[in-house]
């Protein structure tokens, strides 16, 4: 038993290093892609479908997160794990799609006016900030859940879950608000 715990601690140090690196590198790469002066030419207009796909992915991730929450409240750990794994996988697919889109397409400007414009930008800015920091607690929560470190998992989930849920829901709302202004 002691040898297993020692291996877990050794692995955990490596995993923490990877989680920190990933949590820093991904937001930097995304920011560079969004603000890079010349976009990549991926050969077709197919990338303009990706925001629509991303909204579907975020909606499905929201459902998986809520299902995972309900399952754990009912004590159904296996369904909770399955739901959270689905949410995690959807998040990974979303990230790849998001990066491809922003590497190839110019950002769309919101055309609304008045108080709806203020609301949109408040939602967008909070969404971006929380999306940038969300990866850190999400990765730790997933790792602790995967390795059955329940005390650590519960501590991290207190932060990870509401941030992740806000990011998925606000992402869909931002999409719905800006979608009328997409050129393609």
Q: In angstroms, what CA-CA distances link 74 with 80, 88, 145?
A: 9, 21, 17
CATH class of 2-181: mainly alpha
Output the pLDDT for position 4: 60
Give a three-class secondary structure readout of 51-112.
Answer: HHHHHHHHHHHHHHHHHHHHHHHCCCHHHHHHHHHHHHHHHHHHHHHHHHHHHHCCCCCCCC
Output the pLDDT for position 152: 95
Output the pLDDT for position 55: 96
Dihedral in degrees, nearest 10, Cα atoms 139, 143, 148, 150: -30
> Taking the chain (184 residues) in consecutive chunks of 10 residues, what is each chunk's mean pLDDT?
63 88 88 77 81 96 98 97 97 92 84 94 94 93 93 96 97 93 71
DSSP assignment letter at 154: H
Q: Which two tokens stand for residue 143?
A: 């790792």
Dihedral in degrees, nearest 10, Cα atoms 166, 172, 176, 177: 30
Among candidate residues 27, 13, 3, 42, the one with its CA nearest the CA of residue 127: 27
Output the pLDDT for position 64: 98
Predicted model pTM: 0.86
């Amino acid at each position: 038993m002691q040898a297993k715990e020692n291996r877990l601690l050794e692995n955990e140090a490596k995993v923490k290093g990877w989680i920190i690196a990933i949590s820093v590198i991904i937001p930097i790469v995304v920011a560079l892609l969004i603000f890079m002066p010349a976009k990549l030419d991926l050969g077709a207009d197919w990338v303009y479908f990706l925001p629509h796909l991303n909204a579907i992915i975020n909606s499905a991730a929201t459902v998986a997160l809520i299902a995972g929450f309900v399952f754990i409240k009912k004590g159904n750990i296996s369904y909770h794990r399955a739901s959270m794994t689905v949410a995690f996988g959807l998040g990974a697919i979303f990230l790849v799609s998001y990066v491809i889109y922003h590497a190839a397409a110019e950002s769309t400007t919101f055309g609304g006016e008045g108080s709806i414009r203020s609301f949109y930008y408040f939602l967008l800015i909070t969404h971006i900030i929380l999306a940038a920091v969300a990866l850190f607690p999400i990765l730790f929560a997933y790792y602790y859940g995967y390795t059955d470190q329940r005390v650590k998992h519960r501590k991290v989930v207190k932060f990870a879950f509401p941030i992740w849920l806000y990011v998925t829901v606000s992402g869909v709302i931002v999409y719905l608000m800006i979608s009328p202004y997409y050129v393609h």
